[in-house]
Amino acid sequence: MARTHNLGFPRIGAQRELKFALESYWKGQSTRDELKAEGARLRRRHWQDQAGLDLVPVGDFAFYDQVLDMSFTLGNLPERVQGFHGDALDNYFRVARGRSAEEHAQCCGGVAAGEMTKWFDTNYHYIVPEFTAATEFRLDASRLLEQLDEARAQGVKAKPVIVGPVTYLALGKAKDDSDRLALLPRLLPVYAELLETLAAQGVEWVQIDEPLLVTELDADWQHAFNTAYHHLKSSRVKLLLATYFGQLAENQYLAANLPVAGLHIDAINGRDDIVPLLNLLPSHKVLSLGVINGRNIWKTDLDAVLDWLEPLAERLDDRLWIAPSCSLLHVPVDLASEHTLDAGITSWLAFALQKLDELKLLATALNQGRAAVAAELAANRAAVDARRSSPRVHNPAVQAALAAVTSALGRRHSPYPVRAARQAALLKLPPYPTTTIGSFPQTAEIRQARSRYKAGELDEAGYKAAMRAEIARSVREQEALGLDVLVHGEAERNDMVEYFGEQLDGYAFSQFGWVQSYGSRCVKPPILFGDISRPRPMTVDWITYAQSLTGKPMKGMLTGPVTLLNWSFVRDDQPRSASCTQLALAIREEVLDLEKAGMRVIQIDEAALREGLPLRRSQWKDYLDWAVESFRITANGVADETQIHTHMCYSEFNDIIASIAGMDADVITIETSRSDMELLDAFDDFKYPNEIGPGVYDIHSPNIPATAHIVQLMRKAAERIPAQRLWVNPDCGLKTRQWSEVIPALTNMVAAARTLRAST
């Protein structure tokens, strides 16, 4: 009998209840007890949603991030918060965002927030564990035990979920450049103690996540896996070691022979691993197969899955478990909530709850035969076939444009030094020019106007007037601050991807398809279901209006093709590279229209460039070739005098800096504030040829950066990059902040630029 289980469930709630509870608490509008009660309510509901599975995850719920939860479970707190007393949750939020609730800001103040970066190749951000050579670990299992007690009181067949020790070390950073693996002997006894604590609670299975196994490992990290799991093999609980997001490939033998009771592999991305693993896996071990895509929203072709799964079920019998490929954290909660999404497209989709239904159908078909679910399989077959044959998916004109693409589309007229001289003569900017990344606060007034407009309570003229008023406010504030290159503030935009997707043919949009990006930040990825085209200009009217209000240069603000791709739910019936080139052609049209309208500075954000990078270095070149070429197609139809900017945030890109240089943007702005300019280490060996703005203001924290600190960061940057090629800017857009935070922060940033100019 095949068993069913889940690796993790979305924690934000179908209506983003966790988001609103967190933000209420942080603003001092609700109490800590109220926040905890909302967390408990969400957990209860989510366990109910997973009823019918043989094992349900416990411990996958986090108030901010599961890796940060693991750091607190292991007693690995940064030194800067160790002196704080009071509720552990407040310290938790200090690490996550620099401070806890507003009510604690006066008594405890702010600290530097933990560094944040992408969870493998997803758009989820985790808080990076911090280590030094002196790091010690001490178990605090209270969070996990409390959730286990709650689950048992509800009758849940609980499977605790934890991040594995080797992946945990690999995810972290040694702040003193010490060897992270040297900490493994100190870390493993704490893991052993945690497993023994769970065994004492009667736990049978523990899911221990080691996605690091789908990456290329050197001998030291391979040895670390053997060391870790031989140390933990005496535990009284059974370990299900979970890998996901890719193939085991050369790590198959290592994974199959670790002394654990079961192994989970991602059968969506790692299908080629399955047959070899059957010959490697000892006969007593469970093999869990991730047969439902946990990262995309298309219905599973259940017939196709059963065709290859049934022979495996016969061979493995009760050693076969089935599950989603990874945690369902990466998909929305419930398709049944959708009432505005086109019915035809809805029939092609499955969100988290529907994916669990698919999983149960597969289990019934395996255990009782397909006849037991014949009607359900027939309905699934009809939906899958309808999508394949739909004329809405395929546009001959777009396919013809794709076939006509040549390398000439991706070339600028002149090399950067020629362009730079022409741009300098036109723009007349001072040394250390200041700008922001694009967005300004999305105020309650903006959100209310958008909500009323969508509800039909505000007509189009009234909505445009409200947005123009907010754009005018942004321009006034920037002029008063003394910024050099202005932005229109993006008042009219709900999200940097959704806004553009809504205006491109080939996209569809959910109403409640929210997915957690980090903490309380949720995004609603557009659904890229068909060939992409741009029916009409998308941003020109808004940005030309903003330019009419000022004599200073105004940046046209666009989202680039790679980010539009990587932050969408993307069709799976053609290569991602083809969809990306279609997006590049559409955004190129917008770039040219902005230039025609008089914009001489255009920013094309590629925040997600690195996010799409394959987890295996051997596969990087192919991705980077088409991703960089897509950006170049978008950006490079303009005249030399038009300055092209791009922006990237919260990613490690030191190892792809040559490809970033190959994008040939005139100016790149990047996140460096949380990493204390560590990301600029790449420029010790690589001489970046163009201009760069290292972000000096951490916009994800409410803390206000001091002028002296910004000056210090920029002087550190000037040690690697000539001062005449440096810009001063925040590390990301400001839409999530309040004006009361933005004004003093940008005041200090502009003051820092003036100090730097005075010393040049």
Going from the N-terminus, what domains does the chain have, and what CATH number goes with each?
3-9+50-75+115-331 (3.20.20.210), 413-442+483-492+540-759 (3.20.20.210)
Q: Is the pLDDT of residue 218 over 80?
A: yes
Task: Verify whether residue 264 is a known catalytic residue.
Answer: no
Of the pLDDT bands very low, low, confident and very high (cuts 50, 70, 90), residue 695 is confident
Instruction: Please tell me which residue in 85, 104, 700, 709 is annotated as part of the active site.
Output: 700
Confidence of residue 687 (pLDDT cuts 50, 70, 90): confident
* pLDDT at residue 103 greater than cutoff 60: no
- Angle formed by the axes of helices 460-481 and 739-758, nearest 10°: 40
- Whether the per-residue pLDDT at 289 is higher than 60: the answer is yes
Q: Describe the strand order of the beta sheet including 56-58 as a list of residue ranges.
A: 3-4, 320-324, 286-292, 262-266, 238-242, 205-209, 158-163, 56-58
**Greater model confidence, 547 or 1:** 547
pTM of this prediction?
Answer: 0.89
Binding-site positions for L-methionine? 437-439, 490, 605
- pLDDT tens column, 527-559: 999 999 999 999 999 999 999 999 999 999 999
Grouping H, G, I as helix, E, B as strand and the rest as coil, residue 131 is: strand
Degrees, nearest 5: CA angle 326-49-162 = 40
3-state secondary structure of 522: strand
Kindly indicate the confidence band of residue 412, based on its pLDDT and cuts at 50, 70 and 90.
Answer: very high
CA–CA separation, 570 and 531 (whole Å): 11
Q: What is the pLDDT of residue 736?
A: 86
Evaluate the CA torsion angle 495, 496, 497, 501 in order and state its sign: positive
| Structure confidence by residue, pLDDT tens digits, 135-164 | 999 999 999 999 999 999 999 999 999 999
Q: What pLDDT is recorded for position 657?
A: 85
Residues placed in the known binding site:
16-19, 118, 123, 437-439, 490, 521-522, 567, 605, 611, 647, 649, 671, 732
Task: Write down the pLDDT at residue 111.
Answer: 85
Q: Which helix (H) or strand (E) holds 570?
A: strand 569-570
**What pLDDT digit, counting tens, does each position of 630-676 carry?**
999 999 999 999 999 999 875 567 788 889 999 999 999 987 766 66
- Average pLDDT of the chain is 94
Known binding residues for Zn(2+) are 647, 649, 671, 732
Which residues are part of a known binding site for 5-methyltetrahydropteroyltri-L-glutamate? 16-19, 118, 123, 521-522, 567, 611
Pair 334, 14: CB distance under 8 Å = yes
Q: Give the closest residue to 131 by CA, choosing from 145, 109, 115, 151.
A: 115
Which parts are annotated binding residues for L-homocysteine? 437-439, 490, 605
The predicted pLDDT at position 700 comes to 76
| pLDDT given at position 117 | 87
pLDDT digit string (tens) for 317-363?
A: 999 999 999 999 999 999 999 998 998 999 999 999 999 999 999 99
pLDDT over threshold 90, residue 286: yes
State the pLDDT at residue 650: 54
pLDDT tens sequence across 433-467: 999 999 999 999 999 999 999 899 999 999 999 99
Report pLDDT digits (tens) over 60-88.
Answer: 999 999 999 999 999 999 998 887 766 88
pLDDT of residue 703: 84
User: What's the CA gap between 395 and 384, in Å, rounded?
Assistant: 19
pLDDT at 501: 92
